[in-house]
């Protein structure tokens, strides 16, 4: 498997565009369209929030048939909590895109991200979609990525190519998200494309499996949003024979998809609002899968852990404390904690560790924290980031 | 019922002292002793964290007999996660205090608050306890309060007096806590004294009931700690006949206790690390008690809600979003949200509210947010605070 240039338009038969329609106050791009040359099989994973954005609702309906030709996404407005009009607006976004691209309206998927509770400026959206649809190109992947960004500071794109059933196939992806991020998927949108030929059922299954341990293991602030989705289109343009069973070739495909999703998920954590550090929290030795998740989740969400790491302070007591209230079953007298490769707590008791070494580890841009519960055989992992002054700044004035 | 001067030494037969032994780097008071003239009935409520501080473990054992003569508390060091030595040190604190006050060691309760994972400086602690025990006085309540403070910026004390069974009785209280605060009781210590004559069983019952809706409804950062406790002593010095059943007099006592605990709990939220505003979150119309708690808890913990309020931004979408991922059962299309008395969302849909009025409400030091789920008849309430730059500053460098 090789990393290649580009993002969602790296796979054959995909075009994209990103336009500025005026939804964003700063005049940046805000309408993205990604299209496949032919109808693709489609899969999606959606927010678990009870409140769901109107665009997301339309997409959940449209994806039911398992096929799609295009995805249209606006940033700058979440199109959520505005009543029936919001649903109609999302429908219109799909209808207009379908008309321009000459496909069925139910084969267009819609996404929105931004402020909640404000109606979409539909004249702007319409004009943005019209322009985008005329400018679709195989070089348009990056523009589409730019158009889905909100408080993101770095573009999140990647593409890989690998051999599958004796053909070269590609998977490309883009994502946005830097605040209101938490398992499971908060204010994050991911779009994955591939020219592999794969069955609907297996595409759906592998996407759900992979998302669980990648996009759904990113936490910025513990808040999950109402507009989050990962969508994937597979158009078969690579002409491989077709992945129809869970054989070795399927596993190869899954590995490549995992690589793409892991790359994008880590970038989201790294680009967390105000973040200065990417933190990987790893819990080993939990009694079961649920306990592993509870423990890793509590540590990743703890503002006290996140501010300590921002301050480069090896305050491991806060890590143990978070595991303590996580609800996971464990014996505090067995717990080992590592900051990087430095053991700071053995069997629940403080070690007289080298503070200078700890400081050096905490000065890095990427920090790994490992917690061994020594109770069972289950592990889990979350990527998160530190909590800085800038997080407060960005979120104290997002809407105004 | 009247508010009177003082705190834990306002009830008859209680003395206290607070001394500086050198545990705190800044040389402030760090050893508190509160003593009753005679053996009092005692009740306590303790952290739900699986990890428990050593001093708290000793107190949980000592309180089992239902009686106590004194409470000794140090700040500056949590006496947690240091192994067997920590347990021995806590025992020694109780033993030494008992020896000096001539009571049974198991009738002394011990508390510690501060940094986790460092052994107590016992020479300092011993000398602090010795000095405190010689300086116990009826005017010592405020000194004791000072000695339990850590990052607290305001002293938290109150006392009330009221008629009970034809006698004047008093309840006094002090508390500490401003970070690592979350239901159920994180890095918070409360000490309540009363000269009322009340049975062990009823003291225990009423304390647990009252704490549930007062101290256990305060959230600063969602982190619960390993050292938290509310202890209560009742020494009967007021000479009322004795509260032995749940009659009208018992209810009077409970009301007064509720007043004291509510006052202290609100002060803890108001003094949250870096807080500029006290926020009261109220959820009405939940389907059951658990859902009401889930909803109110998710909103109170949301860093996005808390930073928006710091920024005085009426971003109610974040409030609805938090309810959405809380796990509570509700219909988004029924939800009303108020900021102060201003309705900002009706039936899940944005209202075109007066932004100037919202701004004015959000400029206040105390802000009430009401969420009506209109699904059932259960309510719950949490006091919390906003998330500011200073929260990050305080917690980025607490240990170092």
pLDDT the model gives residue B227: 73
* CATH code at position A301: 3.10.20.340
Q: How confident is the model at residue B185 (pLDDT cuts 50, 70, 90)?
A: very low
* CB-CB neighbors (< 8 A) of A321 in chain B: 49, 51, 116, 180, 223-226
DSSP state of A12: T
Count CB atoms within 10 A of the CB of residue B48. Answer: 16
Same domain, B191 and B291: no
Same domain, A297 and A163: no
Q: How confident is the model at residue A394 (pLDDT cuts 50, 70, 90)?
A: low
B224 pLDDT above the threshold of 80: no
Domains of chain A: total: 2
Q: Which of B15, B59, B151, B187 is catalytic?
A: B187
CA distances from A164 to A5, A68, A158, A254, B379 (A): 19, 23, 19, 11, 57
Mean pLDDT of the region B224-233:
82
* B residues 176-215 closer than 8 Å to A (CB): 179-180, 182, 186
Chain B CB within 8 Å of residue A324 CB = yes
Chain B CB within 8 Å of residue A83 CB = yes
Q: How confident is the model at residue A192 (pLDDT cuts 50, 70, 90)?
A: very high
Count CB atoms within 10 A of the CB of residue A83. Answer: 15
Does an H or E element contain A191, and which? strand A189-194
Residue A370 designated active-site: no
Same domain, A185 and A305: no
- Are the Cβ atoms of B321 and A180 closer than 8 angstroms? yes
Chain B CB within 8 Å of residue A320 CB = yes
CA distances from B122 to A194, A330, B22, B96, B129 (A): 65, 30, 11, 11, 10
DSSP state of B326: S
DSSP 3-state of A64: helix
Same domain, A68 and A160: yes
Chain B CB within 8 Å of residue A219 CB = no
Is this complex scored with an ipTM above 0.90? no
Cβ-proximal residues to B248 (8 Å cutoff; 6+ apart), any chain: none
- Are the Cβ atoms of A117 and B310 closer than 8 angstroms? no
Distance from CA of B272 to the nearest CA of A (A): 13
Q: Which residue has the higher pLDDT, A7 or A52?
A: A7
Average pLDDT, chain B: 92
Cβ-proximal residues to B80 (8 Å cutoff; 6+ apart), any chain: A317, B51, B52, B53, B54, B86, B112, B116, B117, B226, B227
Quote the CA–CA distance of B159 and B173 in Å, as a whole number.
6
Which of B330, B349, B389 lies nearest to residue A81, judging by beta carbons?
B349
| Each residue's pLDDT tens digit, A276-328 | 899 999 999 999 999 999 999 999 988 888 888 988 988 898 899 899 989 99
Distance of CA A20 to the CA centre of its chain: 23
Same domain, B244 and B335: no
Chain B CB within 8 Å of residue A225 CB = yes
Count CB atoms within 10 A of the CB of residue B30. Answer: 28
* CB-CB neighbors (< 8 A) of A330 in chain B: 50
Same domain, A122 and A238: yes
- Are the Cβ atoms of A302 and B222 closer than 8 angstroms? yes
Same domain, A133 and A180: yes
DSSP 3-state of A157: strand
Mean pLDDT of the region B71-99:
95
Does an H or E element contain B103, and which? none
CB A115 within 8 A of CB A80: no
pLDDT the model gives residue A302: 87
Same domain, B293 and B160: no
Residue A236, class by beta-carbon neighbours within 10 Å (0-12 exposed, 13-18 middle, 19+ buried)? buried
Mean pLDDT of the region B80-107:
96
Which of A81, A389, A397 lies nearest to residue B317, judging by beta carbons?
A81
DSSP 3-state of A209: helix
B398 pLDDT above the threshold of 60: no
Same domain, A109 and A241: yes
CA-based nearest residue to A36, from A125, A138, A146: A138
Cβ-proximal residues to B59 (8 Å cutoff; 6+ apart), any chain: B44, B46, B109, B110, B111, B229, B231
Residue that terminates a domain, selected from A270, A299, A331: A270
Which of B49, B225, B325 lies nearest to residue A224, judging by beta carbons?
B325
* CATH code at position A225: 3.60.70.12
Q: C-alpha dihedral over B144, B146, B151, B157, to 10 degrees?
A: 80
Residue that terminates a domain, selected from A237, A270, A303: A270
Residue that terminates a domain, selected from B270, B297, B323: B270
* CB-CB neighbors (< 8 A) of B82 in chain A: 349-350
* CB-CB neighbors (< 8 A) of B396 in chain A: 307-308, 310-313
Same domain, B264 and B290: no
Quote the CA–CA distance of A361 and A355 in Å, as a whole number.
10
Nearest residue in chain B measured CA to CA from A118: B350
Same domain, B253 and B323: no
DSSP state of B83: -
Q: Which residue has the higher pLDDT, A151 or B257?
A: B257
Quote the CA–CA distance of B135 and A149 in Å, as a whole number.
64
CA distances from A210 to A206, A265, A291 (A): 6, 11, 20
Domain that holds residue A262: 2-270
Phi, psi of A306 (to 5 degrees): -70, -35
| Each residue's pLDDT tens digit, B282-326 | 999 999 999 999 999 999 988 888 888 988 988 898 899 899 989
pLDDT the model gives residue B274: 77
CA-based nearest residue to B67, from B233, B268, B250: B233
Same domain, A173 and A257: yes
Which of A48, A82, A226 lies nearest to residue B350, judging by beta carbons?
A82
| Each residue's pLDDT tens digit, A343-384 | 999 999 989 999 999 999 999 999 999 999 999 999 999 999
* CB-CB neighbors (< 8 A) of A118 in chain B: 350
| Each residue's pLDDT tens digit, B27-51 | 999 999 999 999 999 999 998 888 8
Distance from CA of A127 to the nearest CA of B (A): 25
């Amino acid at each position: 498997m090789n990393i290649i240039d580009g993002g969602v338009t790296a796979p054959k038969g995909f075009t994209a565009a990103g336009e500025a329609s005026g939804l964003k106050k700063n005049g940046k791009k805000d309408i993205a369209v990604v299209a496949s040359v032919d109808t693709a099989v489609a899969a999606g994973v959606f927010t678990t929030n009870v409140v769901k954005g109107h665009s997301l609702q339309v997409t959940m309906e449209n994806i039911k048939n398992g096929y799609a030709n295009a995805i249209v996404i606006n940033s700058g407005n979440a199109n959520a909590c505005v009543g029936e009009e919001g649903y109609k607006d999302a429908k219109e976004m799909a209808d207009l895109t379908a008309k321009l691209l000459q496909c069925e309206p139910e084969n267009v998927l819609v996404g929105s991200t931004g402020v909640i509770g404000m109606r979409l400026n539909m004249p702007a959206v319409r004009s943005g979609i019209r322009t985008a649809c005329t400018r679709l190109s195989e070089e348009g992947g990056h523009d589409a990525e730019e158009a889905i960004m909100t408080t993101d500071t770095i573009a999140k794109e990647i593409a890989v190519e690998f051999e599958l059933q004796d053909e070269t196939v590609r998977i490309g992806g883009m994502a946005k998200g830097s605040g209101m991020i938490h398992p499971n998927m908060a204010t994050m949108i991911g779009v994955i494309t591939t020219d592999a030929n794969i069955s609907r059922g297996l595409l759906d299954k592998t996407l759900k499996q992979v998302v669980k341990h990648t996009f759904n293991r990113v936490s910025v602030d513990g808040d999950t949003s109402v507009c989050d989705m990962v969508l994937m289109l597979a158009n078969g343009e690579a002409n491989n024979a077709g992945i129809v069973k869970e054989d070795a070739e399927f596993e190869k495909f899954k590995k490549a998809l995992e690589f793409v999703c892991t790359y994008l998920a880590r970038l989201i954590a790294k680009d967390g609002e105000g973040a200065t550090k990417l933190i990987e929290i790893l819990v080993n030795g939990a009694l079961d899968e649920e306990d592993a998740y509870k423990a890793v989740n509590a540590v990743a969400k703890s503002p006290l852990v996140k501010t300590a790491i921002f301050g480069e302070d090896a305050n491991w007591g806060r890590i143990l404390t978070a595991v303590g209230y996580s609800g996971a079953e464990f014996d505090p007298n067995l717990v080992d904690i590592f900051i990087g490769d430095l053991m700071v707590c053995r069997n629940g008791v403080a070690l007289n560790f080298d503070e200078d070494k700890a400081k050096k580890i905490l000065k890095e841009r990427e920090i790994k924290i490992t917690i061994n519960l020594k109770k069972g055989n289950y592990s889990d992992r979350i990527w998160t980031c530190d909590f800085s002054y800038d997080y407060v700044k960005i979120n104290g004035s997002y809407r105004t």
